[in-house]
Amino acid sequence: MLLAIDVGNTNTVFGVHDGKSWVNQWRSATDATKTADDHAAWLWRLADMYGADLKKINGCVISTVVPQAVFNFRNLARRYLNIEPMFIGDPNLKTGLEIRIRRPEQVGADRLVSALGAHKAYPGNLIVIDSGTATTFDIVAGDGAFEGGIISPGINLSMKALHDAAAQLPRIAIQRPAQVIGQDTVSAMQSGVFWGYIDLIDGLVRRIKAEYGKPMTVVATGGVASLFEDASETIDVYDQDLLIRGLLEFYRLNKKG
């Protein structure tokens, strides 16, 4: 069994794969100060609740965009699973992708994993949109090469900045407003945030396609991407498991024996 861990800036996802399918997935808030013991106590309690036997785990793969968290997650695998984990970005491991950009070392681990997962699941040229702390648009060629992309602030980050910078603007929930023109402060903010991000997505996708000059499939993933699925004119498919499947592909690519 495999334990796959995706450490994002906001949330951390733990997935258990039995060789055929994902049998368990759990999510927690990312906190780089949590020790290996903290993670183990939380993980084992959830495993007990769902009847999962973590003693059967014999592989571990980790993607993290939080460098401070590496030490504790490595200790989690070593101390509690007796496994040396694979880390996305380790130069000794294969990525499964050719990286065709000027500075390959600058590509985040999460972007490479999502690109690999998307290439294995969908044919042809792809735009992979990941809506998290940042909203990223990554280009994956039909042959599996990573060819660059766009990074913009995520919707939650933008909402927080709006609230923090303007004393009279409240914190609001992200939701699709009933109409575009707001009739009060909250509905005006919701419209600006929601439809602003829809137009950000659709506008950038159209610009990417015009510049790329070839047919492309648009795949969206990430914590808030499902909110945009029905409103966007350019998203072809929403796939919430894209990154965790990419971790599985990376592990299979580098597994010995």
- Segment-wise mean pLDDT, segments of 10 residues, the chain, 257 residues: 90 91 91 93 92 91 91 95 91 87 86 92 96 90 95 82 74 82 87 90 97 97 79 92 91 84
Helix axes 109-121, 242-254, angle to 10 degrees: 90
Residue with tokens 């990554």: 138
Q: What pLDDT score was predicted for residue 226?
A: 76
pLDDT at 178: 84
pLDDT at res. 89: 82
Catalytic annotation, residues: 110
Report the pLDDT value the prediction gives residue 186, as an integer from 0 to 100.
85
**Residue 234 has what pLDDT?**
95
Predicted local distance difference test score (pLDDT) of residue 134: 86
The DSSP secondary structure of 203-236, one letter per residue, reads HHHHHHHHHH-S--EEEEESTTGGGTTTT-SS--
State the Cα–Cα distance between residues 45 and 123, nearest whole angstrom: 39
Residues 6+ apart with CB under 8 A from 25: 13, 14, 15, 16, 244
Q: Within a 13 Å sphere around the CA of 160, how many CA atoms are in the beta-carbon half?
A: 7
Q: Which pLDDT score, from 0 to 100, does residue 257 have?
A: 58
What is the pLDDT, as a whole number, of residue 126?
Answer: 98
Measured between alpha carbons, how far is 59 from 96 in angstroms, rounded to an integer? 18
Query: Which pLDDT score, from 0 to 100, does residue 236 have?
Result: 95
Domains of the chain: 2-87 (3.30.420.40), 104-245 (3.30.420.40)
The pLDDT, as a whole number, for residue 185 is 86
Pairing status of strand 217-221 against strand 126-131: parallel
